Each structure stands twice: as C-alpha cells, then as structure tokens.
Amino acid sequence: MTDFSVLAERAFSLLEAHHQDRPIVLPTVWDAWSARAMVESGFEALSIGSHPLADSVGSADGEAMSLSQALAGIARACGSVDVPVTADLESGYDTSAPDLIAGLLEAGAVGLNIEDTVHSEGRLRSPEEHAEYIGDLRRAAEAQRVHVVINARTDVFKSPGDFADPTAEAVRRLNLCAEAGADSVYPVRLPDVATLKTLLSQVTLPLNVTAHPIKGAVPGELDLSQLQDLGVKRVTFGPLLQATMHDYFAEFTRNWH
C-alpha cells in the first residue's frame, strides 16, 4: 500500500533542494541496480530517464514502451532506494493528469518530467496547451496531498527552424508553465551558453540543464561550479550515464575477446 505521508515528505525534500545555493544533481538511472549504485555513491535524490529506461526493456524512447512498462520500471527503481525520485514520463502518454499522477505516486516517484512533444501525434503542443496540462497535473497532485515536483520541459531547441525566435518562444513556454504550477523548467538541447544565460535571466523558476558539454562554453563544457555561478539550480543526465557505462563495458572486456 502506498504511504502518502512518506511520499509527501520526499516531495517536500526534493522541492527544497531546488532552492539551495548548490544545484541539485540528479543522476539519471533506469533500474533498481543503477538506483542503488547512485545512492551508494552519495546522491540523495535520483531521476529516472525515459530513454535509458526504454533501452533497459528493449524499447525506444518517444513513448515506444507503454505507460504500464514505464511505471513498472519506475516502481522497481523507487522500491530499491529510500530517497526522493523524479521520473520522466515524456509527454504524458496521452493520459489524463489525474491518472498519470496516480500512477506515478503508486510507483513511488515524487516528481515528474513532462515535455511538450506529443509523440503519438508527432507535433509540439502549443504553449497554452502545454501549460494547461501542467496546471492539470498540479491540481491532480494537490488532490493527492503530495506536492509532486513538476519539471516542465520544452523541445523548442530540438527544431529551432520552426520558430522565428526560438529563445523567445522557449521563454514564453517556460514562463506559462511556471504560471500554471511547474516547479522547475527544462529547455533541452540548448545551443550555447549565451542562450542559457538569457533563459536564466528571463525565467523565474529553477532551470534544469543536462550534464553534458554545451557549445560555446570554455573549456568545452560547464562544470558544476560554473553552472552554480550562472544560477542553474538543477542538473540531470538524460541517457548519458547509461551510455557511459556502455563504453566502459567495452573497455573493461577489451582483453577478453
């Protein structure tokens, strides 16, 4: 049986961590083993990524696995650790906000990442449509008395040619999500550090970046202290950790075949 008092405490802890001087770093895991490994490495909260989770069950990112598969994987990871966990549920799997929040909490997660790409239709939600869904998720979480930490993602920079001013479009979308009840925002595939600085200056909520090299930075990537100096509040890894393990496996077994 789900203990909602425990979930509420973990959600509060996760939310508080977004408002400290040091950015919260959420290693992106995909199963019970990786979740335990990251906690044992010293991390106090985790993210479950849709891409690595899909890879772990032989599927593909972009909602190719079913929602039930995703929630089962989230439950396995959450059940193996005693720390707050946030999960990537892509664009929501065409699922109503109350049902999505109920499934997330039943799986043991207290945060979720929601993007504006509707995979089943191959389109980007309008700014207002995405904000409306974020608002529905917030109200659904409040009904469960758990402040689920909502990370509102925009994919504008994945197709910048679709917009006259991609940065302005991203700012508009993220601020609408903030007004609707998001707790943090996530503009993926930032083109350069100048764009990151613009977003940080024009979006009020804690901003999530991916822990990989960003073009335009010196000496080629931004480390944690540099991100902190800029004002970034949250760092996740996407599929990076799993991909790095793949490369490590090849090196580790190189002399055995």
User: What is the average pLDDT value for the chain, to the nearest integer?
Assistant: 95
Report the pLDDT averaged over residues 93-117.
Answer: 98
Q: Give residue 58's pLDDT.
A: 95
Please name each of the domains of the chain with its CATH number.
Answer: 4-251 (3.20.20.60)
Pairing of strands 46-48, 28-29: parallel
What value does the mean pLDDT take over residues 198-224?
A: 83
Going along the chain, which residue ranges are E strands?
A: 24-26, 28-29, 46-48, 85-88, 111-114, 117-118, 123-124, 149-154, 184-187, 208-210, 234-236
pLDDT band, very low/low/confident/very high, at 257 (cuts 50, 70, 90): confident
Cite the DSSP H helix spans in 41-92.
50-56, 67-78
Residue 218 confidence (pLDDT) above 60: no
Gap between the Cα atoms of 245 and 225, Å rounded: 24
Write out pLDDT tens, residues 222-242: 899 999 999 999 999 988 889
Q: Averaged over 63-88, what is the pLDDT?
A: 98
Band (pLDDT 50/70/90 cuts) for residue 6 is very high
Tokens of 76: 């396995």
Residue type, 144: Q
CA distances 147 to 13, 27, 88, 138, 253, Å, are 10, 21, 16, 8, 45
Q: Dihedrals φ, ψ of 173, to 5°?
A: -65, -45
Write phi, then psi, for 46 (nearest 5 degrees).
-135, 160
29 versus 212: the higher-pLDDT residue is: 29
Higher-pLDDT residue of 221, 223: 223
Chain centre to alpha carbon of residue 188: 10
- C-beta separation of 26 from 45 below 8 A: yes
22-27's contacts with Cβ under 8 Å and 24+ in sequence apart are 22/224, 22/228, 23/224, 23/227, 23/228, 23/232, 23/233, 23/234, 23/235, 24/233, 24/234, 24/235, 25/211, 25/224, 25/235, 26/86, 26/234, 26/235, 26/236, 26/237, 27/236, 27/237, 27/241
pLDDT range class, residue 212, cuts 50, 70, 90: confident
Confidence at 246, pLDDT banded by 50, 70, 90: confident
Percent of the chain topping pLDDT 90: 88
Preceding omega of 219 cis (within 30 degrees of 0): yes
Instruction: Check residue 220 and give its pLDDT.
Output: 58
- Specify the pLDDT at position 144: 97
Which of 13, 154, 178, 181 lies closest to 82 in space, CA to CA? 13
Rounded to 10 deg, the angle between the 127-143 and 166-180 helix axes is 20
Rounded to a whole number of angstroms, the distance between the first and last alpha carbons of the chain is 48
| C-alpha to C-alpha distance for 126 and 129, rounded to whole angstroms | 5
